Amino acid sequence: MASGYSAKEEDGHHSGALGPAGGAAVRSRKPDNTAFKQQRLPAWQPILTAGTVLPAFFIIGLLFIPIGIGLYVTSNNIRELQIDYTGTESSSPCFACSQNYSWNMTTPCVCSVSFSLDQPFESNVFMYYGLSNFYQNHRRYVKSRDDSQLNGNLNSLKEPSKECEPYRTNDGKPIAPCGAIANSLFNDTLALYYNDPNGTETQIQLVKRGIAWWTDKHVKFRNPVGDDSNLTAIFQGTAKPVNWQKPVYELDSDPENNGFINEDLIVWMRTAALPTFRKLYRIIEKNSSTSPTLPRGNYTLKITYNYPVRSFEGRKRMILSTISWMGGKNPFLGIAYITVGSICFFLGVVLLIIHHKYGSRSSSADLTH
Amino acid sequence: MTVPKDMAEKWLWMLVPWRGRRNPRNKNPGQEEERRVKASDRDYNEKFPYADNRIRTSKYNIFTFLPINLFEQFQRVANAYFLFLLILQLIPQISSLSWFTTIVPLVLVLTITAVKDATDDYFRHKSDQQVNSRQSQVLINGKLQNEKWMNVRVGDIIKLENNQFVAADLLLLSSSEPYGLCYVETAELDGETNLKVRQALTVTSELGMDMSKLADFDGEVVCEPPNNKLDRFVGTLYWKDSRYPLDNEKLLLRGCVLRNTEWCFGMVIFAGPQTKLMQNCGRTAFKRTSIERLMNTLVLWIFGFLLCMGIILAIGNSIWEEKVGKNFRDYLVWEDVLSNSVFSGFLTFWSYIIILNTVVPISLYVSVEVIRLGHSYFINWDRKMYYGQRDMPAEARTTTLNEELGQVEYIFSDKTGTLTQNIMVFNKCSINGKTYGDVYDEFGHKVEISEKTPCVDFSFNPLRDKKFHFYDHSLVEAIKLGDPMVEEFFRLLALCHTVMSEEKNEGELVYQAQSPDEGALVTAARNFGFVFRARTPETITLYEMGKHVTYQLLAILDFNNVRKRMSVIVRNPVGQIKLYSKGADTILFDRLDPTNDDLMYTTSEHLNEFAGEGLRTLALAYKDLDEEYFADWMKRLHIASTTLENREELLASLYEEIEQDMMLLGATAIEDKLQEGVAETIACLTLSSIKIWVLTGDKLETAMNIGYSCNMLRDDMNEVFIITGHTVLEVQQQLRRAKEQILGSGRETANCSKDAEKTEQYRNDSVFEETITSEYALIINGHSLAHALEADLECLLLDTACLCKTVVCCRVTPLQKAQVVELVKKYKRAVTLAIGDGANDVSMIKTAHIGVGISGQEGMQAVLASDYSFAQFRYLQRLLLVHGRWSYYRMCRFLCYFFYKNFAFTLVHFWFGFFCGFSAQTVYDQWFITLFNIVYTSLPVLAMGLFDQDVNEQNSLRQPKLYEPGQLNLLFNKRQFFMCTLQGIYTSCVLFFIPYGAFSNTVRDDGSHIADQQSFAVTIATSLIIVVSVQIGLDTNYWTAVNHFYIWGSLTVYFSILFAMHSDGIFRIFPSHFPFIGTARNSLTQTSVWLVILLTAVICVMPVVAIRFLRTDLYPTLSDKVRHMQQASRKQRPQEQNLKRVRRTSSRRSAYAFSHQEGYGELITSGKNMKAARLFPAPPTGRIPGSSSWIESLLKKRTEMASGAAVGPLNGSAERSKSENTPVQQQHID
């Protein structure tokens, strides 16, 4: 700091010279004797010693290996089946559908994939659709939405946010829901049939409610509320997203699952973190306690093929999976825990040996006292 | 702040001319060539653009504060950078973050700085206000009117009274004292506390205090324009058709204080900012620490790194858009502006610059400032650096240099007033072959004198000086017994000197001595019953053992450097003529009567003994003169003193003639009292590898004496080289010889290379210097130094000096002090510290990296120029080894952690870039990015930076070697920076890839998703917070309650804010700003998420712990060892261990140590320094009426000071021995 001229200094000398004479009146400038000011605050002073570090490594090792084994076993017990139905190969049943690219097919292209389960799926089964090489996490994609509009704000319904460009308006009418995310809503329809050994084909009941987060369904996404309780009337004056076949108020017949609170839409709007992702499509609930949800046998997956991914070399999958306490099948975490636990344990041993052989236990010997 | 900032300042300087307004010197550049001022003629003077007497050191007022302050702040590169980012963010195609992520931290930083600036300026305003509204009496229309200082104009005639500050630069017109004399104290200007005399022109002094005459005075002064030369003034007064030359002696400068003059009148020549005082207080050069320079370099590196990352990601984006993005356009159309993938890459570059900007930490500079401020307060608050006797706490006057205190390698110390107290104490004597002064117990063993040793009771003597202590009772007994030699001894001390005495009240004698040595001797004589009471030009009155005796003073044969002795010739009441002489033993012994040989031999032994204890010795002798011879000699002296040619030589030979065949009386030994704890401090600092050079204006002998007594010079040193050459060649030869002797011939070092890398060079040096096991010392005097500092010899000087353990430079001028410091700064790349107390140390204090001022009795100049100030030299040890070390340690730990933290935080975006199409999508919630640095992680690291201690203060002092890492720059350098950024990069890698692996396929335990972007963000953010908190926990060695509070508090705050921001309520209010609604709830309730966080944290921290453990286990640093020891002995309270004071044994003979100058004796005999009108022989009893007032009040002031400092009034009033720039006041009267 530059020390400029100031009266304080000018006077400082003056009073300094005369100070002690009137010393009694002047308050002493002696600093306070507090632990804080004298930097004597009581303190815990941990140091890394063999006594603390080595046990820590062993404990982590011994803790992580069982956790890892537990995770791995749990993960292995999860039944999971993935069926890629992209149809890029000519042998694939969906090859024909994948070749006809169009968003607005008047006659839907349907293809069916057969598969068999060697082992039954016992508990509730979750059906996912998986996409690869689909950049839902691209910045321009991620921001291309209007949360206010999706929350039922009437102003935003009429005047969507600029972020939605170029899916903001169509023919001068605001798009609802606007933006690239909503525009690219996954619109394949998947249906699952069980092929009885006797030849009959039973459609398996797929539950489409309860697939979205409760907070999303009940807080984040709201249908706009107007004078009319009729959704069609409320969405009057808006345009459907360009790629959609139906407007938003016709997504489902169930009024609790229609419009912005349609769960398929909500699930899609929760953008994935990575370019390969899966999203929950339907739930197959366990009906009876005696029979498995999906018994062993042959199944057919019928796909109404609408969603083009060929142009960007994407893949589409259907995944059937059971669930454990730690979620879906995920061997990575188990293996990682086992590895890290082993490394810690091993490191502990190595450090112990090094410490024992070379460590300086009499470290303060050469200090001058 | 950074290097470009300087450039920016220069650049702005050209653009903004009004900036010069702040600098008064630039007010009228080149306009005023001469100044014309007419007395009491405001109309005339107002024609010129002269400044009025209002001063303004403040920078802002209420209206200009905001624009100017903001303008200044944006000159900082860091701030400008963030402003630039803010602007970038407003471009929608680039904006990868919301505007608030940058603006919130920026506003916070700007606000903190602005508040600090505003507070500073407020105090400046207040002090300006206070100065400006001081009252002064201005003569307006023939009447004295009270005016505020700020209303005083150039040309006004103002009246000053005693002890008032001079309001402006005045031409002295008249004063209360005869001949228009007036006395001022110039401590504010040059730091000298002695009084200076100013004398008015005879014509104007006749104006007296006659108002009508003064009002009629209409002289016009033509003089030089305002400048900053304190000792020069050229002007002419035109009055009544005559011209009178004006010089500096007729000027009273602003900042001086009028002393001992009832009143005086002066005419304002320069006012306000144009006064010499204000012209002199330019901004001191901004000192920057080496850490800060390194930090600036590193910030530039980080910029470079940022650009590299931006370019890599931009290229990645171009490729991605080309290969993937083009085909993905069904779902994600390109924006209108986007024409091709290269342009997309270009835009992405800027987007990434925005999101990666946090590698350059915006809060770094603010945090550093806060930490330094805290450290400064700790210095100010330290009770162990508080000097009770003068109520003087230590003061950190700058807040920017603290960590550099932990890196000092060279200390340049002044001697007088810094190492020594400049108090001389009569300690021992040898009279007629018998020594006095030591105390023996009943068994005849010598007793160490301590506080408890009983003092000699001088109560028999009513005129004694109560502060005088003597411990040997035998001397008083000898006096009481009336031993004639002892009596003669003290009579000599009472007569042979040039001290002036002052007796305000009966018995209250105060001596005014020219040198403290003399004062000590006369005081000793006074206490032993030979009281020097008064003197006139012709007489000296003593109060000898209860009787008044007046001696006729016949001659003073004064001291000078060649003679090294002084004598007086007196006629005692009996009528005998006696010559009393005191002087350097070597000189005096040559002039003794041969009958003295035996006595001379014993006395010589005693002198050796005294000198061995570091005392300053003097030999005393007398001679009886016979009347006729003396009359003849006196006549010849008279003739000699009136000749014009060769007067000096003639006088010298006459003196020489009479000072022969003297009788030896004995010798005195005076202790030049070192300040408390100097030897221990020096020993301790030396142990911590700090090199201490003493630069003193004192003489060689004195300096060496002090060198020995504070253990810098020792007898067991291999060689003490004394360089005293008078020509370049001699100096060169002497230096060469010294160097060769140290190195052994043939070895050459190339220390003197400017460009060598510091660390490398240092290693070479230190390895090399360590190979020299023997100890050498170099002593060089001012003459030789002048030659040695020339360009071709300076390398040789530096090499030689650095090979020596001790370097003492004596008889150096202030400029040379600075040059020596500059030399070391230039070639050694070491941190230098200069410590001093006087005005002559200012240059060196300003030159060194760190300047320390001892707030002594020598004025405030050194303190005002210094960065740190305290009252005692020994506090330096604490300042460096405790505060400096801690500051350095803390700052280094802080910086390491800070860079680590920001790298770990930011680089996650980089890794994510590869998985999101290089689209500059952020990993985290924008609010998290906004708050991470300023809320979630700022306080724990700040607490560490403020409170952390690796080793407690006792051990810091006890293990001086702990200081070395700072000197070697070990705790924070480029390597350390690299390590901590590497750690940051590793952490960011783990932070991204572990969740990546775990999340790619996983779902929640109810089957719904969790691999979505928001959950991913929350998981990584939570891991990051936990990892950096664990890391700060590992880095914190000293967990005070504050650390606990901040670390746990930060975690709590993180989770509270997280849940609050993800809550329904806040989303309902601002649906578009808080899209993360419910994410925390949905993800952090999942076991798998916590398992991921735990795994990430362990993987991040585990290697760090392992490496740190291995390092302390295998290669423990001294600090680690001490810490272990500290922990082991925590139960037993550490006892205070002090380095035992080592008493040196030396055979060195100290020489005549008077540091006073010639010319005093003549003043006394001529009586010029006593007021002519009041000069009359003092009556033997009773007080001296109307004594000369300048001494009186000088002494009054001195006693007041001294009474606080518990030193003898004599010592306190001692004329400082820094003679080279302290003109003796009487010379002004001559």
Phi, psi of B185 (to 5 degrees): -105, 130
| Rounded-to-integer distance, Cα B834 and Cα B851, Å | 5
Phi, psi of B707 (to 5 degrees): -55, -45
pLDDT in tens, B1051-1080: 999 999 999 999 988 888 888 888 898 899
Q: Is the pLDDT of residue B322 over 70?
A: yes
Chain B, nearest residue to A276 by Cα = B1000
Taking residues B366-393, what's their average pLDDT? Answer: 90
The pLDDT value given to residue B379: 94
The pLDDT value given to residue B1182: 37
pLDDT-derived band of residue A262, with 50, 70 and 90 as boundaries? very high
B1206 in reach of chain A (CB within 8 A): no
Per the CB < 8 Å rule, is B1012 touching A272? yes
The pLDDT value given to residue B518: 82
The pLDDT value given to residue B59: 78
The pLDDT value given to residue B528: 87
pLDDT in tens, B703-720: 887 888 888 888 778 888
Annotated binding-site residue? B841: yes
The pLDDT value given to residue B60: 82
8 Å CB contact between B852 and B405? no
Q: What is the DSSP string of B748-805?
A: ------SSS-HHHHHHHHHHHHHH--S-EEEEEEHHHHHHHTSTTTHHHHHHHHHHSS
Annotated binding-site residue? B518: yes
Partner residue opposite B1109 with nearest CB, options A20, A351, A367: A351
Annotated binding-site residue? B582: yes
Regarding predicted confidence, which is higher, B82 or B1203? B82
Q: Would you state the structure tokens that stand for residue B17, as one six-digit string?
A: 């001319």
Taking residues B1220-1229, what's their average pLDDT? Answer: 37
The pLDDT value given to residue A103: 61
Host H or E run for residue B637: helix B627-642
The pLDDT value given to residue B1139: 42
pLDDT in tens, A162-172: 888 888 888 88
8 Å CB contact between B901 and B936? no
8 Å CB contact between B677 and B872? yes
pLDDT in tens, A88-127: 888 888 888 887 766 666 677 888 899 999 988 888 899 9
Regarding predicted confidence, which is higher, B593 or B1197? B593
Q: Is the pLDDT of residue B1181 over 70?
A: no
The pTM (predicted TM-score) of the whole model is 0.80
Which site among B94, B916, B961 would you substitute to test the A interface, given the most A Cβ atoms closer than 10 Å to its Cβ? B916
| Rounded-to-integer distance, Cα A357 and Cα A352, Å | 8
pLDDT-derived band of residue B1098, with 50, 70 and 90 as boundaries? very high
Closest CA to B1192 of B256, B193, B515, B510: B510
| Rounded-to-integer distance, Cα B802 and Cα B817, Å | 16
Least confident of B845-854, B1036-1045, B1134-1143, B1177-1186: B1177-1186
B1149 in reach of chain A (CB within 8 A): no
Residue tagged 């009569």 (tokens): B426
Q: Which chain B residues have a beta carbon less than 8 Å from that of A325?
A: 1005, 1087
Closest CA to B732 of B796, B803, B802: B796
Annotated binding-site residue? B416: yes
Q: Which chain A residues have a beta carbon less than 8 Å from that of B1075?
A: 147, 220
8 Å CB contact between A242 and A174? no
Regarding predicted confidence, which is higher, B437 or B1189? B437
Give the three-state DSSP class for B397. Answer: coil
| Rounded-to-integer distance, Cα B223 and Cα B104, Å | 57
pLDDT in tens, B545-555: 888 889 998 88
- Chain centre distance of CA B35: 37
pLDDT-derived band of residue B189, with 50, 70 and 90 as boundaries? low
Least confident of A63-77, B756-770, B1083-1097, B1169-1183: B1169-1183
The pLDDT value given to residue B410: 93
| Rounded-to-integer distance, Cα B697 and Cα B708, Å | 17
The pLDDT value given to residue B76: 75
The pLDDT value given to residue B187: 63
The pLDDT value given to residue B1062: 92
8 Å CB contact between B1203 and B1217? no
8 Å CB contact between B158 and B228? no
8 Å CB contact between B1005 and B1045? no
| Rounded-to-integer distance, Cα B1068 and Cα A222, Å | 11
Partner residue opposite A10 with nearest CB, options B255, B1108, B1120: B255
DSSP B59: -
pLDDT in tens, B437-475: 888 777 777 777 776 777 887 878 888 887 888 888 888
Taking residues A274-297, what's their average pLDDT? Answer: 88
Chain B, nearest residue to A320 by Cα = B1007
pLDDT-derived band of residue B259, with 50, 70 and 90 as boundaries? confident
Q: Is the pLDDT of residue B1141 over 50?
A: no
Q: Would you state the structure tokens that stand for residue B397, as one six-digit string?
A: 């006057």
Closest CA to B405 of B438, B379, B369: B379
| Rounded-to-integer distance, Cα B832 and Cα B821, Å | 7
Q: Which chain A residues have a beta carbon less than 8 Å from that of B1112?
A: 47-48
Share of chain A above pLDDT 70, in %: 88
pLDDT in tens, B197-210: 788 888 888 888 88
Regarding predicted confidence, which is higher, B1005 or A117? A117
Partner residue opposite A37 with nearest CB, options B381, B1064, B1120: B381
Q: CA Rg, chain A, in Å?
A: 34
Q: What is the DSSP string of B870-909?
A: ES-TTHHHHIIIIIIHHHHHHHHHHHHHHHHHHHHHHHHH
Instruction: Enumerate the β-bridge partners of residue B1142.
Output: none
pLDDT-derived band of residue A290, with 50, 70 and 90 as boundaries? confident
The pLDDT value given to residue B538: 84
| Rounded-to-integer distance, Cα B428 and Cα B526, Å | 15
Q: Is the pLDDT of residue A300 over 80?
A: yes
B414 as an active site residue: the answer is: yes
Q: Which chain A residues have a beta carbon less than 8 Å from that of B166?
A: none
Taking residues B249-271, what's their average pLDDT? Answer: 85
Share of chain B above pLDDT 90, in %: 21
Q: Is the pLDDT of residue B408 over 90?
A: yes
Q: Would you state the structure tokens that stand for residue A222, as one six-digit string?
A: 């709201």
Regarding predicted confidence, which is higher, B326 or B24? B326
Q: Which chain B residues have a beta carbon less than 8 Å from that of A272?
A: 1009, 1011-1013
| Rounded-to-integer distance, Cα B568 and Cα B662, Å | 13
Interfacial A residues in 340-359 facing B (CB < 8 Å): 340, 343-344, 347, 351, 354-355, 358-359
Least confident of B479-493, B745-759, B1028-1042, B1078-1092: B745-759
| Rounded-to-integer distance, Cα A165 and Cα B311, Å | 28
Taking residues B347-375, what's their average pLDDT? Answer: 88
Per the CB < 8 Å rule, is B1121 touching A364? yes
Q: What is the DSSP string of B325-362?
A: ITGGGGTSPPPTT--SHHHHHHHHHHHHHHHGGGGS-T
Q: Is the pLDDT of residue B300 over 80?
A: yes
Host H or E run for residue B430: strand B420-431
| Nearest-CA distance B349 → chain A (Å) | 14
Closest CA to A87 of A355, A367, A330, A314: A314
The pLDDT value given to residue B503: 73
Host H or E run for residue A141: helix A139-142
Regarding predicted confidence, which is higher, B1000 or B402? B402
The pLDDT value given to residue A185: 92
Q: Give chain B's mean pLDDT.
A: 80
The pLDDT value given to residue B349: 93
| Rounded-to-integer distance, Cα B180 and Cα B207, Å | 10
pLDDT-derived band of residue B999, with 50, 70 and 90 as boundaries? confident
Report the number of secondary-structure helices (H) and strands (E) in chain B: 45, 35
pLDDT-derived band of residue A70, with 50, 70 and 90 as boundaries? very high
Q: Is the pLDDT of residue B768 over 70?
A: no
Closest CA to B553 of B568, B567, B532, B533: B568
The pLDDT value given to residue A335: 94
Catalytic position from the list B121, B156, B169, B414: B414
HSE of B810 in the Cβ direction (CA atoms, 13 Å)?
Answer: 22
Q: Is the pLDDT of residue B894 over 90?
A: yes
pLDDT in tens, A234-259: 888 889 898 888 888 888 888 888 88
